[in-house]
Chain A
Amino acid sequence: MSLWVDMYRPRALDDLHYHQGLSARLKSLAASGDFPHMLFYGPSGAGKKTRITCTLRQLFGPGVEKLKIDQRVFLSPSKRKIEVNIVQSNFHIEITPSEAGNYDRVVIQELLKEIAQTQQVDLNAKQRFKVVIINEADSLSRDAQAALRRTMEKYMSNMRIILCANSTSRLIAPIKSRCLLMRVAAPDNTEMQTVLTHVSRRAGFDLPPDAAQEIIQDSGGNLRKAILVLEALKMQSPDLSGPLTIAKPDWETYCQKVANLIVTEQTPARVMEIRTKFYELLSHCIPPTVILKTVAEAVVSQVDETLKAEIMHWAAFYEVRMRIGSKKIYHLEAWVVKVMSLYKQSFYQFDISEFE
């Protein structure tokens, strides 16, 4: 039983429901015969990967949908074995280098070299090149990016690279300049409404507009999340009528409660308590940046107007540190303590001004 997200995914550029301009451009690019390296970026759940796969289909035809999974083993310089799952068709190959952790450079180099050195033998193939899709490109290490940069120029004749990233800020400039940047923006509410209706129709039921609105409000522009929520809701109450309670993932409610803890008390003991909560979140695989963002948003919604900017400033500040540092918990906690003392200070100032 597949998830709806996967089942009802559009498969051709013409089937896409929004960003028609983008689709048209991709179509003409695919037809032009001069297909560049590309970098798709945009928020998660906006449809980047869908557009990539649709473009591939446009380029190579339906043959590109015949996929197989390979498990490849690479050897790191210190003879450590790295296992990476690789999805490939005859025309393209898809890798998530962050699976290889710190050895992503090795994996990238080996794979690209291998692909670049094999020519397309199928004379009926529409294109002479193979496509390499690199998912989560923004998690590529600097070394891997540097390795990529040279390869991109060298093997242009029989290979194209499509990068997929949430933001371009973590990609080095040489890579960005070698790619055609494709921004895939999050869909707006009406676009999401269309997609949700479409999905529910294909799943064989009618979606009440109220429910759709509620789901859209909750998803914050993340279409994947919206469809997942829709599926979960449909499972919980098949008729989708009446007041809906959108079941948030546990970690979101958890973050909300952590924010409450921050606002209600500012003592060293509370810092300790919150730390345990953070550890708990981290050990449930919630990315630390996501934790910071969610908690910060929840805190901001509860505090005085004057503090909001500052809290967000410090959240950004400690997020940068988190990226550089190795122990995420330090930075999360440093932010919490910062917010606590800010909050406390404003509280006392307020009190004093009132007395005066």
Chain B
Amino acid sequence: MPPKLTQSSRPSSFNPKPPRKAKASKATTVKLDAAPLNLQRINPLTAFSNTPPSATADATRKASQPSQKSKGKEKEACTSTPVDRSDDCLWVDIYEPTTEAELAVHVKKVQDVRRWLDEALVGGSGGKLRKYRRILALTGPAGTAKTATIRVLAREMDCEILEWRNAIGETSLNRFGDDPQSYDPDHESLISKFEAFMTRASTCKNLFAGAQAPEKNAKSTPLSSSSSSSSSRSSPRKRQILLLEDLPNILHTSTQARFHAALQALVAAPSASPVPIVVIVSDAGMRGEASDERLASGAWGKDRDGVLDIRTVLPKDLLYGPYVTQIGFNPIAPTLMKKALQSLITTHFSSKPSGSAPSKETLDIIIETSNGDIRSAIMALQFSCVVVASGAKTRKKQSGSSAKVVLAAITRREQSLELFHLIGRVLYNKRKGDPPNPSATAKDIQKDKELDATLKDPPKLPSFLADHARRTSRVNVDSLYANSPIDSSLFSLYIHQNYTQYCNETEECEGVAEWLSWIDSSGGEAWYQANPHRFHLLTLGTLHSLPTPVPRRSQKVFKPEFFDFLTKEKDAWDAVRDVRGWIAEDAVLKEANSWRLGGWSRAEVATELGGVLKARDAKQTRAKAPASHRLFTNMPFVSGGEHRGLRQLGEGETSSDTVDILEDDGGPRGGWSELADMQSGGWLENDDIEEF
């Protein structure tokens, strides 16, 4: 691969040319404004170091390859003999995995992805599935080897990855140029470039598939000139995968619409051999902070702003349609990660005998603190090796705890508490001196004891408050709040859905229900009057009301039904509107009666019209009301069976699937405005509420 390609892509610290080139342009050219075009950005740390200029092209290419094709992603494995400068390079880049065996992902996940790719490229066993294998969405937390899996599989299956990259700072050139009036007809926005990229990538075949790099480079020139580089791999065959990871700014509404349209067009286009698209979306790990955050900042913002998840990336009909397959990646399991890290250490220190490998404890701490993020684990590993190598040898006998502090400081992720654990923590209501769980391990019991030792007993309450005496809680509400992945309104829904299982008596239920009710109404009608302490109040109130200890009877945590019923309610309101329209239409036909047009309010239709509509249905002779009226008139009473449609909350699940419906609350809701809102067909969005 000639250095030309690296020039057009991001600068690489391995390229020995930049310093010379920069000097040359300064020395020979007088026209200064031409210089930046040729001038490459140089890494000041490495550019002038005494790189042997005779570094072979081969070594340069091999070493620069990983950094060029990925933005420092995923676990890497040694692909070639590391050059001397590998100290400056991140291990994540150097040791990218090359074979499936090296991937630290669970075998089943890799199999899933492989099967999908197989079906998409060849058609699978029956050959019919190819039509439906158009988009693969890989989701999961950051650092779970999503991109690495695709790259490894693409390499193994011998296909070419076309990747979209966003350009940076190009658009502003025009606007702030010398002449603000100048209009550049050639200027195209990023999204139109993206659209062009998509069409080209999906329809155009690589003419020079058999040939080598220069031609390939020529083909990708239009793309890379719009600074999207198709990182082409040499492949004898024409099979291609379209990789979308660096997406256009889809949080901008119109960009999102066009992005969706481009995807839909691509899927809808009939094609004999469609190019499969792989979309990689890392879970942002953001909590669906609806109102609390806004309260703090006072800023107007839509809830969904900044939440980049698969729902915003793919249009809804596509996401739930047959063309999209979604594969979720889980955090890397500690055992897998340990294996991967150990093999990495072995490769590293076998090729580079200087320095000493980190101790086993360090490795354990790294794995423990990384929370399944392998990228951060490798980073931490490299860091710890650097520290050990450069630090004095005397410090080698560091105590485990201080090393832990250091490592925790560099690897800790902000969001570490999962929804499942949050709810469990609150609802199990553990207090000081609780008997340990029969299934608890000795380590857990020890932990509890340590925790209990730090807790102070509350002062004794006077006799008239004796009802309220509780042992000190083991739950630290502040840290729960800090680590909660969901906002207080969603949190309250989860508590509401699940608290009854944890109560023995109605009196305990009464406490929790009363708190829920009070907290919901403790603010004012407008969002800015909402109670800012809802989370704390609810947690403390729930803990206070629940029995202690909570009896274990294999309770299951369920997702709130609230949203399901909200959608149902919305449908029913649509039906009410239909019926109202039907009444009005009737009246218009009979001119004489037309003056009762607006006479029926929605509540009246919903509550009073049921009998007549049913009677009409039974009669079957007269003009029929719209059949949708059954949505609100027909209500068979089913006793029992209260667990029909409940969805259990899994351990690894995040709140993201509920967050997008969350926008309905937090707005000023007085009395019937909720119904009215439904009627108008649109969901209330917080930024639409004007300030007074």
Residues of A within 8 A of B (CB): 1-3, 6-7, 9, 11, 44-45, 49, 53, 64-67, 69, 76-78, 80, 82-83, 85, 87, 94-96, 98-104, 133, 135-136, 138-139, 141-143, 170, 222, 224-225, 228-229, 231-233, 235-236, 246-251, 253-254, 257, 261, 266-269, 271-273, 275-277, 279-287, 290, 318, 320-331, 333-334, 336-338, 340-341, 344
Contacts and interface: CB of A to CB of B under 8 A. Distances in A.
B20 to A, nearest CB: 55
A248 B587 contact: no
Contact of B642 (A100, A138, A254, A273): A273
B606 A284 contact: yes
A321 B516 CA distance: 11
B516 A283 contact: no
Given A331-B521, A337-B510, A285 B586 contact: no
Given A82-B680, A338-B513, 16 more contacts: A3-B583, A78-B688, A82-B682, A87-B598, A94-B598, A98-B679, A136-B601, A235-B618, A250-B636, A251-B635, A271-B513, A281-B635, A290-B603, A330-B513, A331-B517, A331-B521
A254 B637 contact: yes
B640 to A, nearest CB: 7
Nearest to B619: A235
23 contacts: A2-B587, A6-B583, A44-B604, A66-B594, A69-B597, A101-B677, A102-B673, A136-B672, A228-B611, A228-B612, A236-B618, A247-B611, A250-B610, A250-B633, A266-B506, A267-B506, A271-B509, A271-B513, A273-B640, A285-B606, A327-B496, A329-B562, A334-B514
A52 to B, nearest CB: 10
Contacts of A272: 500-501, 642
A338 B673 contact: no
B611 to A, nearest CB: 4
A323 B670 contact: yes
B556 to A, nearest CB: 12
Contacts of A85: 598
A123 to B, nearest CB: 24
A321 B518 contact: yes
B684 interface: yes
B596 A141 contact: no
B675 interface: yes
Interface in B500-530: 500-501, 503-510, 513-514, 516-518, 520-521, 523-525
A98 B513 contact: no
B596 A9 contact: yes
A224 B604 contact: yes
A100 B676 contact: yes
Interface in B586-613: 586-588, 590, 593-599, 601-604, 606-612
With most chain B CB atoms within 10 A of its CB, the pick from A222, A284, A323, A324 is A284
Nearest to A267: B506
Contact of B612 (A3, A103, A135, A141): A3
Nearest to B569: A283
Interface in B629-669: 631-637, 639-640, 642, 644, 665-669
B690 interface: yes
B55 interface: no
Contact of B520 (A248, A283, A326): A326
B674 interface: yes
A41 B680 CA distance: 25
A247 B615 contact: yes
B672 A98 contact: yes
A235 B616 contact: yes
B14 interface: no
Contacts of B623: 1
A139 B672 CA distance: 6
Contact of A53 (B516, B595, B674, B682): B595
A327 to B, nearest CB: 5
Contacts of B177: none
8 tightest A-B CB contacts, nearest first: A249-B610, A325-B521, A334-B517, A325-B520, A101-B677, A250-B635, A283-B568, A98-B676
B323 interface: no
A235 B612 CA distance: 8
A341 B525 contact: no
A324 B513 CA distance: 16
B689 interface: yes
B138 interface: no
A182 B587 CA distance: 28
B412 to A, nearest CB: 34
B596 A1 contact: no
A202 to B, nearest CB: 13
B500 A271 contact: yes
Contacts of A276: 561, 642, 644
B518 A102 contact: no
B687 interface: yes
A225 B608 contact: yes
A270 to B, nearest CB: 8
Contacts of A273: 640, 642
Contacts of A287: 603, 606-607, 672, 675
A281 B633 CA distance: 10
Most chain A beta carbons < 10 A, residue from B572, B595, B640: B595
Contact of B607 (A249, A331, A334, A341): A249
Interface in B331-356: none
A2 B586 contact: yes
Contact of B610 (A67, A233, A251, A318): A251
Interface in B564-597: 565-566, 568-569, 572-573, 575-576, 583-584, 586-588, 590, 593-597
A334 B680 contact: no
Nearest to B622: A1
Interface in B375-403: none
B615 A232 contact: yes
Contacts of B690: 76-78
Contacts of B575: 285
Given A96-B601, A99-B676, A284-B632, A329 B496 contact: yes
Interface string B156-182: 000000000000000000000000000
B561 A279 contact: yes
A69 B584 contact: yes
Contacts of B681: 83
A135 B602 CA distance: 11
A276 B599 CA distance: 33
Given A77-B690, A285-B632, A231 B598 contact: no
A6 B517 contact: no
Contacts of A282: 565, 569
B648 to A, nearest CB: 15
A232 to B, nearest CB: 4
Given A101-B679, A232-B615, A268 B504 contact: yes
B580 to A, nearest CB: 9
A337 B513 contact: yes
B350 to A, nearest CB: 60
A87 B597 CA distance: 7
A171 to B, nearest CB: 12
Contact of B673 (A95, A98, A337): A98
Contacts of A9: 596
A247 to B, nearest CB: 5
Contacts of B413: none
Contacts of B525: 142, 324
B633 to A, nearest CB: 6
B426 to A, nearest CB: 16
B673 A101 contact: yes
B671 interface: yes
Contacts of B639: 257, 261
